Structure 1
Amino acid sequence: MKSNLNIKNILFVVVIVLLIIPQTRQPIQIWLNKGLALFSPSVTAKKDQQVIKDYNWILKSKTGHLINLEDSKGQVVFINFWGTWCPPCIAEMPSMQALYKDYKDKVEFVFISDEDHSLSNTFLKEKGYTFETFVPRTAYPKIFNVTSIPRTFLIDKSGYVIIDKTGAANWNSKAVRKTIDELLAEDL
Structure 2
Amino acid sequence: MLKSKKNKLSNLFFGIFIVLLIIPQTRQPIQVFLQKGLAMFSPSVEAKADQKQLESYQWKLTDLNGVPYDFKSAEGKVVLINFWATWCPPCIAEMPSLVGLHNDYKGKIEFLFVSNEDKDVVEGFLKKRDFKIKVYQPISSVPEILSTSTIPRTLLISKAGKIVIDKTGASNWNSDTVRETIEVLLQE
Please, which runs of 5 or more residues in structure 1 have no aligned partner?
none
* Match of residue 74 from structure 2: 72
* Match of residue 147 from structure 1: 149
Would you say 1:119 and 2:111 are equivalent positions? no
Would you say 1:183 and 2:188 are equivalent positions? no
Q: Give the partner amino acid of 1:45.
A: A
* Match of residue 20 from structure 2: 18
1:57 shift after superposition = 0.2
* Match of residue 43 from structure 1: 45
User: 4+ residue runs of structure 1 moved beyond 3 angstroms?
Assistant: none
Q: Give the partner amino acid of 1:180.
A: I
* Match of residue 29 from structure 1: 31
Q: Give the partner amino acid of 2:17.
A: V
User: What is the alpha-carbon root mean square deviation over aligned residues?
Assistant: 0.6
- 1 CA distance for matches of 2:152 and 2:60? 20
1:116 shift after superposition = 1.2
* Match of residue 130 from structure 2: 128
- 2 CA distance for matches of 1:14 and 1:47? 49
Q: Give the partner amino acid of 2:100.
A: A
Residues 85-115 of structure 1, C-alpha deviation per residue, up to 9 Å, x if partnerless?
A: 0000000011011100000010000000000
Q: Give the partner amino acid of 1:16.
A: I
- 2 CA distance for matches of 1:145 and 1:127? 27
1:145 shift after superposition = 2.9
- 1 CA distance for matches of 2:157 and 2:36? 25
Q: Give the partner amino acid of 1:169.
A: S
1:63 shift after superposition = 1.3
Secondary structure, in 3 states, of the residue corresponding to 1:24? helix
Would you say 1:89 and 2:91 are equivalent positions? yes
Over the matched positions of the two proteins, sequence identity in percent amounts to: 51
- 1 CA distance for matches of 2:123 and 2:161? 29
TM-score by length of 2: 0.98
Residues 11-61 of structure 1, C-alpha deviation per residue, up to 9 Å, x if partnerless?
A: 111110000000000000000000100000000111111111010100011
Q: Give the partner amino acid of 2:61.
A: L
* Match of residue 164 from structure 1: 166
Secondary structure, in 3 states, of the residue corresponding to 2:167? strand
Secondary structure, in 3 states, of the residue corresponding to 2:98? helix
